[in-house]
Amino acid sequence: MRLRARALAGASDQLTDFLRCIDLSINGNVAVGTKSSRYFAPDGLPAVERTVAPPPGLPQEPLPYLTVAWWWDHLPAGEE
């Protein structure tokens, strides 16, 4: 908090906004962590099933979203 106060003293509008958002993010993470059953009561959660291979019939073509479609360009040959 002291570093934040020092940084805000001469901060630009963009840095001020960024630091404010960091405050909100930390606050949100703490709130979720104290109320979420995932973190609050891990013993009461259902078991997670892990699979070794993707389910049969799962589409292998890239998703139709440019933000992630490029991931398929980095798969080794034969894994498309």
From CA 80, how far away is CA 78, in angstroms rounded?
6
Contact (CB, 8 A) for 55 and 45: no
Q: Which residues contact 69 (CB under 8 A, 6 or more apart)?
A: 62, 63
pLDDT tens-digit profile of 24-63?
999 898 888 887 777 666 666 667 778 888 788 888 888 8
Give, as one character, the DSSP assignment of residue 10: T
Domain boundaries of the chain, sorted by first residue: 14-42
pLDDT tens-digit profile of 57-72?
888 888 899 998 888 8
pLDDT computed for residue 45 by the predictor: 67
From CA 62, how far away is CA 48, in angstroms rounded?
27
